[in-house]
Amino acid sequence: MSSERELLAVAVEAARLGGALLSERAAHGAERHIGSKSTPTDLVSEADLASQRAIRELLARRRPDDGFLGEEEGEDEQGASGLRWIVDPLDGTVNFLFGIPQWSVSVAVADGEGTIAGAVFDPGRDELFSASRGGPALLETPGGERTLSGPASDPGAQPGVPQLATAMVATGLAYDARVREAQAQVLARLIPLVRDVRRFGSAALDLAWTAAGRYDAYYERSVKLWDVAAGRLICERAGLAYAELPGRGELPWGVLVAERDLLEPLLEIVAAPA
């Protein structure tokens, strides 16, 4: 069995490879070949496919006995090693296609107990977020590397004001209009109770940014395993609490990560029926 450090190194290499390929394509302008998946607004481009193929080829060379689950092309292969790579080759496709610099590459490796190591790479800012099961959450930038420990003390906090009232919360919305309608009802309930809400469009980056202290919490429904496999581990190794949001009516399964003192108050709001 390979060490966590070795697996993390491969995850980082794969995430950076996908990010470099995507950055090159972005520099050449709009993608010409665009399709849709679950709904007309759930877009997929040749960039998504090219990134996944490049990552898949790298992993086949580095880890030929491992399984592979990728978002695109229905790839879900079981390996002989008991490990499986979980890849979102372009998280934030719509942003990428519209020239909005908020997208990332997420690569994780898991066994039967969960994620062992994972990396989320943001090529636009040259920020690499990573963690292993037994190690710290890290952020590597051109200026160096630092350990992540979740949200820092709030410079705008006021004595006597509940922590929820000063929380910056990130979320995401589904592609299905019926799901978005139900999500809007939850948002309407949440917005008056927190500092503000952000919605940028890359679940993997939202998780990584929460680990980095840029948000106090993040929740989203309709996410898939490839969206959250790396980011969840990074958040947990940064000391954040994690909870699953069970499906209710039009609201599908989802996740919530937050400072530990915020988890229960937020669960009462976002886990309740729309």
- Cβ atoms of 117 and 8 within 8 Å: the answer is yes
pLDDT, tens digit (0-9, with 9 covering 90-100), for 81-96: 999 999 999 999 989 9
Q: pLDDT at position 152, please?
A: 64
**Greatest CA span in the chain, whole angstroms?**
57
For the domain made up of 4-147, give the CATH fold: Fructose-1,6-Bisphosphatase; Chain A, domain 1 (3.30.540)
- Cβ atoms of 224 and 85 within 8 Å: the answer is no
Average pLDDT of the chain?
A: 90
Q: How far apart are CA 14 and CA 135, in angstroms?
A: 19
In Å, what is the CA distance from 244 to each residue of 81, 141, 241? 28, 30, 11
Q: pLDDT at position 11, please?
A: 98
Q: How far apart are CA 66 and CA 260, in angstroms?
A: 35
Q: pLDDT at position 77, please?
A: 87
Other beta carbons within 10 Å of 90: 28
- Delimit the CATH 3.40.190.80 region(s) of the chain: 163-270
For the domain made up of 163-270, give the CATH fold: D-Maltodextrin-Binding Protein; domain 2 (3.40.190)
| pLDDT, average across residues 220-234 | 97
- Delimit the CATH 3.30.540.10 region(s) of the chain: 4-147
Q: pLDDT at position 42, please?
A: 40
Lay out the sheet containing 76-77: strands in order across. Answer: 76-77, 67-70, 84-91, 104-111, 114-122, 127-132, 138-141, 144-147
